Amino acid sequence: MKMVCIGDSLTAGYGVSNSECFVSILREKLQIDILNKGVCGDTASGLLSRSYKDVIQNNPSHVLIMVGCNDFMTGRSLKLVTDNLKEIIKESLSAKIITIIGIEPLVYKKLAKEKWDSTLDYEKVSELESEYRNWIIDFCTKNSLFYADFYSCFQEKLETNTKDDLFIDGIHPTALGHKLIAECIQKTLTLIEAQNVYKKILTFKEVHKK
């Protein structure tokens, strides 16, 4: 398996050491070839402009695409983000890459206002993120695509941990947050493998019926 993780600062590992970033955790834990193509501040249009170079030309078997928060914090529309994401997905699928869409954890407004940028309208950002999450789930379900719902993973973890445990500034995950992201991705990869094995069994049975 070879995997590319393309995204913004959440993928780049802003605020944590390289070894604490979820990409490094997966590399160490799964012993796979995995490339970190996260760029701080990037947007969906930025990812689209570099996806051929950073994803396709690296010839991975899998790609994780996670982007959106920077778009919403800078006033871009949901339609613009989803249109760009669809193009990125189309490019990956055309190259026969197993494509996973990462759903970003929800921004925590109070913490972000205190520790990131007090001038932003986090209420609006959160609304757009919730709509975006629903769109991703619906789009992936209708098109038989895989997604990793980090929003849900973080919500479950918050039943036993505080927001300060999981977020540096209301936006970027702590080392514990990155560990959680890695665990969620590992579960998605296990699901993908199980489905692939099941398809191979069905194909084998179909071939041997003839």
For residue 210, what pLDDT band results from cuts at 50, 70 and 90?
very low
Q: Give per-residue pLDDT as tens, 16-72.
A: 999 999 999 999 999 999 999 999 999 999 999 999 999 999 999 999 999 999 999
Q: Give per-residue pLDDT as tens, 121-162.
A: 999 999 999 999 999 999 999 999 999 999 999 999 999 999
Q: What phi and psi, each to the nearest 5 degrees, are found at residue 161?
A: -130, 160
Among residues 43, 51, 37, 46, the alpha carbon closest in space to that of 70 is found at 43
The whole-number pLDDT of residue 5 equals 98
Q: Which residues, 6 or more positions from 142, have their beta carbon under 8 angstroms from its beta carbon?
A: none
Indicate the number of domains in the chain.
1
Q: Which domain holds residue 9?
A: 2-209
Question: In whole angstroms, what is the distance from residue 17 CA to residue 10 CA?
Answer: 12
Both tokens of residue 14?
Answer: 């802003």
Neighbours of 28 (CB within 10 A): 12
CATH at 96: 3.40.50.1110
